[in-house]
Amino acid sequence: MNIHYDSQSGKWYQTSLDTAVTIGGMNEILPRKTKKEADFSFDLTTKNGKVGPLIGILTARKTDGTISGNSSLFIQLQKKLLAQKGFSFIFTADSVNGIMVNGYAYLPEEQSWKKMTFPYPDLVYNRIPFRKSEKEKNVRTILADLKAKNIPFFNPCFLDKYQVYHLFKNHSVLQNFLPETNLITGDVELRTFLQKHTSVYVKPTQAAKGKGIFRLRLENESEISFEGLLERKQYQSFAAFWQEQGSNLTEKPYLVQEEISPSRYKGKRFDFRILAHADLNDYRVTGIGIRQSQDQELTTHIPNGGRLLPYHLFQTAELDQFIQLVVSHVGRTLTTELGYFGEFSIDAGISKEGKYYLFEVNAKPMRFDEEEIEELRVTRLCRLFFQLTGFENKRRKRLG
């Protein structure tokens, strides 16, 4: 069904049906006009007296006031949704006014973003890119408002690494794949943990892409080596290390994790980046990328010098089974404990002994460099949008 938008009045309407139809998460009546007087028209799905789905993508503003976020993903989602008779727009928490939302929609024909006024969406996809922004009062208010209005949204929040470890360590399946991890609350815990494992990683509990990570190694009874992304140091004792670095480790939460001796390919460590999406009552693997370290071994992230390898170099039936197993259990556990997760990524690896490990889970996956994974990501997200809003039909269920 074609719906129309009048830029001058900021109103949506339809010209097709004499009977009333609704739009958006609050089921607002879509007014009817006898003739088209709109600037823009879009063909949406009609089901049970409602048109949609109308998808709101929640993001945030930069310090200069401009809107931030993964614009390439937002554009591809809009193109796919329009092809499937859906519609999306981006908005920020400070742009909600009463029952209306001021946002921006990408118009493929014009290859530009258009500022528009929208009803409350049928679903909100949380893509706020900054942890600080997600903690702001207006964001917490809008998320609480969506919950009160029974408007579905995902993902509910960024993840804290230690919180996730705590959830998984008591899980009957996931506990088998976790490296031992502890929260740093003082020098005693870190020293004891280092003495036990001799080589450990230290990470901020709320960071991504390898930011703030470093490795400590106990070289002998007292001497310690420190390796960060940009520097390496030797300390004659743990006390010397703590005197210099301890304040950083107590100002904000850090965890310490045993180093797993990794499996190697052509002499370099590698690990897996796994993208997953919800599908009905379970979770499916969307794509698997391999990242291999090059100049340093702290992290395999591409911005830190890692490189891509194709999954088929390592693929086995056993590895496929492990990945699907952890994807299913991770997704269901996060949703049960923290709120609905429609999308997440996992960092996993294999030790030199052949044991599988689950290292991290990310609630706001960044763009994958593999184009085929990004294409399937858009397909899976759009399918999920239709599922959660009740607009999915039998034909669409067979897609993706």
Band the pLDDT of 396: cuts 50, 70, 90: very low
**Predicted local confidence at residue 34, as pLDDT:** 76
Binning pLDDT at 50, 70 and 90, where does residue 398 land? very low
Q: What's the pLDDT band for 293 if we cut at 50, 70, 90?
A: confident
Residue 218 has pLDDT above 70, yes or no: yes
At position 267, the amino acid (one-letter code) is G
What per-residue confidence (pLDDT) applies to 269?
Answer: 85
pLDDT above 90: percentage of residues in the chain: 66
In the predicted structure, residue 302 carries a pLDDT above the cut 60: no
Q: What is the DSSP letter of 136?
A: S
Interval 230-282: pLDDT, tens: 889 999 999 999 999 998 898 889 999 999 998 888 888 889 999 999 998 89
- The C-alpha angle with vertex 198 and arms to 196 and 199, in degrees rounded to 5, equals 125
Give the pLDDT confidence score for residue 63 in this predicted structure. Answer: 80
Structure confidence at residue 306 as a pLDDT band (50, 70, 90): low
Maximum Cα–Cα distance for the chain, whole Å?
85
Please report, to the nearest 10 degrees, the dihedral formed by the alpha carbons of residues 264, 269, 270, 271 taken in order.
Answer: 100
pTM beyond 0.85, yes or no: yes
Give the pLDDT confidence of 317-355 residue by residue, as tens digits.
Answer: 999 999 999 999 999 999 999 999 999 999 999 999 999
pLDDT of 298 reads: 59
Helix (H, G, I), strand (E, B) or coil at 78: helix
Q: Which residue has the tokens 């702001």?
A: 136
Per-residue model confidence (pLDDT) at position 27? 93
Rounded Cα distance, 348 and 287, in Å: 13
* Amino acid identity, position 151: I
E runs forming strands in 263-377: 264-265, 268-279, 282-292, 307-309, 343-350, 356-362
- Determine the pLDDT at residue 292: 83
Measured CA to CA, the distance from residue 262 to residue 306 in angstroms comes to: 15
Task: Choose among 329, 349, 357: nearest CA to 172.
Answer: 329
**Is pLDDT of 304 > 70?**
no
Q: State which H helix or E strand residue 202 sits in.
A: strand 199-204
> What domains are there in the chain, each with its CATH number?
2-154 (3.40.50), 161-176+262-363 (3.30.470.20), 180-258 (3.30.1490)
Does residue 172 have a pLDDT over 50? yes
Phi (first) and psi of residue 49, to 5 degrees: 75, 20
Q: How far apart are CA 219 and CA 143, in angstroms?
A: 49
Q: How far is CA 304 from CA 232, 294, 326, 344, 394, in A?
A: 16, 9, 26, 21, 44
Q: How far is CA 314 from the centre of its chain?
A: 25
Average of per-residue pLDDT values in the chain: 90
pLDDT of residue 294: 62
Alpha-carbon span 136 to 97, nearest angstrom: 17
All residues at 6 or more sequence positions from 39 whose CB lies less than 8 Å from its CB, including other chains? 5, 6, 7
What pLDDT, on the 0 to 100 scale, is given for residue 308?
Answer: 84
pLDDT band at 399 (very low <50, low <70, confident <90, very high): very low
pLDDT band at 171 (very low <50, low <70, confident <90, very high): very high
Per-residue model confidence (pLDDT) at position 300: 53
224-254 CB burial, b ≥16 within 10 A, e <16: bebbeeeeeeebeebeebbeebeeebeeebb
What single DSSP character describes residue 251? Answer: H
